Structure 1
Amino acid sequence: MSMHETRRAARQRRRRRGLMVGAAAGVAVTSLVVTLVLTMQRDGAGNAGKAPAVAGAPARGTAPPVAPRQKPSAASPTAASATPAARATTPTPPAATSSSPPSASPRAVPATASLAGRIRPRTTYRGVATVYQAGTGDGACLYGPSDDMMIAAMNTADYETSQACGAHVLVRAANGASVTVRITNECPLPCAPRQLDLSEQAFARLAPTSTGRIAITWSLVSPGTAKAISIRYKSGSSPHWCGIQAIGHRNPLARLEVRTGGGWRPLTRTPYNYFLSPDGSGCGGALRITDIYGERLTIDGIALRPDAVQPTRVQFARH
């Protein structure tokens, strides 16, 4: 081989080695780049999972934060568990005693809150007074003729199935005149709630009877009387059926009971002011009467004598 050919062959060998080295370097560089990219992707993925925690969001598996004004349901009692306790300790005030003096304690609720009907003590009502001819003074309460004609008929709503019978009411007119009347009768429609129909004698204490109708205020009173209460059995009463009436009670009656083998039994009141025992239980035995203030009086020795007014030795206290 000539010298020229030898040199050319040497150059070709060096070129091939250069290409091989370059190719290897290229492969190495490519591998390095790929490695760097993969590493960056892995690092980026890890940082992406932590980014919400940096922003303040809760990490997985933990409960979300609770706002300051909200409490978890387990930390506060439910409405169902709280209500009965409130109802057990706070009695509901009676709606009709708004003008009564406040009680010193919520527990000090007077007996009238449950025993009185529409007509409450220590309460003033506004209404009208009309006038009627009362005759002998008898009326729906079936008390019979009255010696005292300072009497009145109560409108049907406030009469309340004879619960107003025997109540004493102080009536005041706008001119300052006043009169105390006893309820012995019922004034049906068109008498309106809070209306009193006065006997001519009682109306004349307030205004001339020719006026016929005046504005009034009225309230329940507990008069000072020395008389005792009387008991009367209704005509037709027997050991098998009886009606019982109390007469002359200072305060309105809330209930009348008879004593039976099983204890005290309350009787049902009628619109004509008798308490009935339809099967005769307790008829002719001991009685117990309760006024709207909660006072109870036990009465013994009243014979089963129909239509006889039998006096007792008891009377309710004055209020």
Structure 2
Amino acid sequence: MLVGRRWLFIGAAALLAAVIGAVLALRSGPSPACAAPPTGSTVHRGKATFYDSKGEGGNCSFVSAPADRLYVALGPSEYSAGAACGGYLDVTGPKGKVRVLIMDQCPECEPGHIDLSKEAFAKIANPVDGIVSISYKAAANPTVPGPLSFRIKEGASRYWFAVLVVNHGNPLRSVEVKSGSTFRATQRAEYNYWIYESGLGPGPYTIRVTDVYGQRATATGIRMAPEQVQKASVRLYGAGAAPKSTPSPTASKSPAAKPKPKASPSPSSVPPSLAPAAAIDQQLGSAAAAGC
């Protein structure tokens, strides 16, 4: 009986060890990277190939490729169901560096593999090489062709709302829309339109855009005009961005008010254009910083 129990214990231990081994193998073996677009100052290393979009705007639903034809497609994890759309990357290869618009998804690209336009590839490597080792990182607050623009999707109406945002430069965190007195949060589709399923009425709409760095801009007077590109008068950052509110002069001169020492800004409150690289990473809580 003792022998039987001993083998029972050994068998149970072996089974437990096998289960633990399988779990560890799953954890340590190949697994998809955290789904998140490149942000902050993290430098990624990998490889680049090239392709031609034939002038089309890619998975991000842009009307067309950028005029300079410098764009890139990312693999599913970095494309992140459209979260990367409209951002920019600085890519460095054997011949130099190029800045590219994230415009498309490369379904077969594993993490670290980016697919450049043939024009962008030619700026960093010899096209006859076909595939080269590169490094790349997000371009924070890049120069964009103009102010924020919006395109209401074909098929949209007062009962189903969908809008594409263009010229935001940094990846977007949220798009909120108001038709009346209350902002409503929209949901991003994988093809980069922001959707409110039950509709927001006939418009016009006020649209509030926030990027991954917390920068925000609000555009007004956007009409329910499907397939038309509507250019706003504001930018998300830089010249033409909406000014931040400041205390009124009368409030600052109030006799009851006592001067208070200014608190030094925390890393998370420093604008990305001025913050050191470490502060940007801390603000973003990026996947790379979290150990993904």
Task: Show the 5 A alignment for 1:1-319.
Answer: 117-146=36-65, 147-173=67-93, 175=94, 177-189=96-108, 191-221=109-139, 222-225=141-144, 227-259=146-178, 263-281=182-200, 284=203, 285-318=205-238, 319=273
Deviation, structure 1 residue 264: 2.0
Match of 1:201, SS?
A: helix
Q: Which consecutive aligned stretches of 4+ in structure 1 deviate over 4 angstroms post-superposition? A: none
Deviation, structure 1 residue 176: 5.1
Q: Could you tell me which amino acid in structure 1 is paired with residue 124 of structure 2?
A: L
Unaligned runs of 5+ in 2: 1-34, 239-272, 274-292
Closer/same/farther in 2, CA of residues 283 and 166 from structure 1, 3 Å limit? farther
Deviation, structure 1 residue 163: 0.8
CA separation in 1, counterparts of 2:145 and 2:126?
32
Q: Deviations over 1:186-240 (max 9, x none)?
A: 0002x11122100111101111212111111101112234610100100011000
CA separation in 2, counterparts of 1:244 and 1:160?
19
Is contact 2:86-2:171 (8 Å) kept? Answer: yes
Q: Deviations over 1:132-159 (max 9, x none)?
A: 1221142101102222200111111100
Deviation, structure 1 residue 260: 5.4
Is contact 1:258-1:282 (8 Å) kept? Answer: no
More helix by share: 1
Closer/same/farther in 2, CA of residues 248 and 303 from structure 1, 3 Å limit? same
TM-score by length of 2: 0.66
- Same amino acid, percent of matched pairs: 33
Whichever of the two has the greater Rg, that structure is: 1
TM-score by length of 1: 0.60
Q: Could you tell me which amino acid in structure 1 is paired with residue 219 of structure 2?
A: I
Q: Could you tell me which amino acid in structure 2 is paired with residue 130 of structure 1?
A: T
> Relative contact order, CA 8 A, sep 6+: which one is greater?
2
Unaligned runs of 5+ in 1: 1-115
Q: How many residues align?
A: 202
The RMSD of aligned alpha carbons is 1.8
CA separation in 1, counterparts of 2:145 and 2:130?
34
Closer/same/farther in 2, CA of residues 158 and 282 from structure 1, 3 Å limit? farther
- Bigger Cα displacement from structure 2, 122-131 vs 301-310: 122-131
Is contact 1:259-1:282 (8 Å) kept? Answer: no
Is contact 1:141-1:184 (8 Å) kept? Answer: yes
Is contact 2:95-2:123 (8 Å) kept? Answer: no
Q: Deviations over 1:51-76 (max 9, x none)?
A: xxxxxxxxxxxxxxxxxxxxxxxxxx
